[in-house]
Amino acid sequence: MLNGIWAALAAVIAFAISATVGKVLIPALHKLKYGQTILDIGPSWHKKKEGTPTMGGIMFIIAIVVSTAVVTTCLALFGSIYEPTGYSFGKEVFMMIVSLAMAFLYGAVGFLDDYIKVVKKRNLGLTAKQKLGFQFGIAIAYVAVNAFFGYGSKTYIPFLGTVDFGSFAIVYYIISVIVIVGIVNAVNLADGIDGLVGSETFFVALFYMIVASIMSSPATTVLSSAIAGGCLGFLIWNFNPAKVFMGDTGSLFLGGAVCAMAFAMNMPVILIPMALVYIIEMLSVILQVSYFKLTHGKRLFKMSPIHHHFEKCGWSETKIVVVFSSFTVVVGIIVTALVILGL
């Protein structure tokens, strides 16, 4: 009960900071002329959004970091800590900090990409090789820290309990790096409609919070609550019609955050189903490109990622956000139920 109060406090603080920072940040971005350039390859009706400020992810990054730091400190000093999983609260806090740092570094890469686009006037920002180089470097460093100072080769899997990969640890680490980079890019690809990624990630964080609470992982509960609150505060400014975009600054940070919540409580196995909505978006791009090449110019979807396909089918942006978010809720309920049954 008490830890639930700390989680609620984290969400409220993050929401308040994110929403408040928006009042200052958006006019500042306008003044600096940090407006989004809409590429011709996107839906033609998105051209009217040209000039909308980007880099808005800064508001929820600040909110999440501050809220998590404040509430985790208060939890450590005044909270009731229960450790049924065998991992100490101190170790969980350490991995939560390292995981949040990973998300922050991904946000920094996104900021650099946005900066090049809007300030240096290079529409494509960082090259694909540069992005992947940074992303794999961050993921490798994170997994290495986890291996040597965190949970090592041990991880919790519902129905199986704590599993030690032992001599197969290197395979686990390699898969972890690939999954982290994949999810980060999947979240980035999903960001193309007002309020979409913010809404999806709000619900993903909400269910992570529930799972972390069930698993008695207090630090991850606080982190997830802060992410949910930060996203909700951002959505005040990002709901259609958006007054600001999160940019790669925000989407890459949230991609890292989605991974961070699973790894911080040492249950990365739930990352794939929790991130399923983003993975579907990424797969739609892969399928579209592959089909286009195999059929010499034919398209599987009207446009990819798949949210643009539904736009082309006549769905409004609001309808897409509601449907995709509802799908996320259904998946979250199933994952939560499986975690409970698998205890």
Residue 46 has pLDDT above 70, yes or no: no
- pTM tops 0.75: yes
Residue pLDDT, tens place only, 237-283: 999 899 999 999 999 999 999 999 999 999 999 999 999 999 999 99
pLDDT of residue 176: 98
CA atoms of 218 and 10, how far apart (whole Å): 12
Cis amide linkage into residue 27, ω under 30° from 0: no
pLDDT of residue 43: 63
- pLDDT band per the 50, 70, 90 thresholds, residue 89: confident
Of 169, 246, 159, residue with least CA distance to 200 = 246
Please give the single-letter amino acid code of residue 40.
D
Of 313, 288, 321, residue with least CA distance to 203 = 321
Answer whether 262's CB lies under 8 Å from 268's CB. yes
- pLDDT band per the 50, 70, 90 thresholds, residue 42: low
Strand 154-157 versus strand 161-164 pairing type: antiparallel
pLDDT of residue 38: 60
Residue 98 has pLDDT above 60, yes or no: yes
CA atoms of 150 and 142, how far apart (whole Å): 10
Answer whether 237's CB lies under 8 Å from 58's CB. no
Residue 86 has pLDDT above 60, yes or no: no
Residue pLDDT, tens place only, 287-302: 999 999 999 889 999 9
pLDDT of residue 259: 98
Average confidence (pLDDT) over 10-14:
98
Task: For tokens 């208060």, name the residue.
Answer: 74
> Lowest-pLDDT range, 46-50, 84-88, 314-318?
84-88
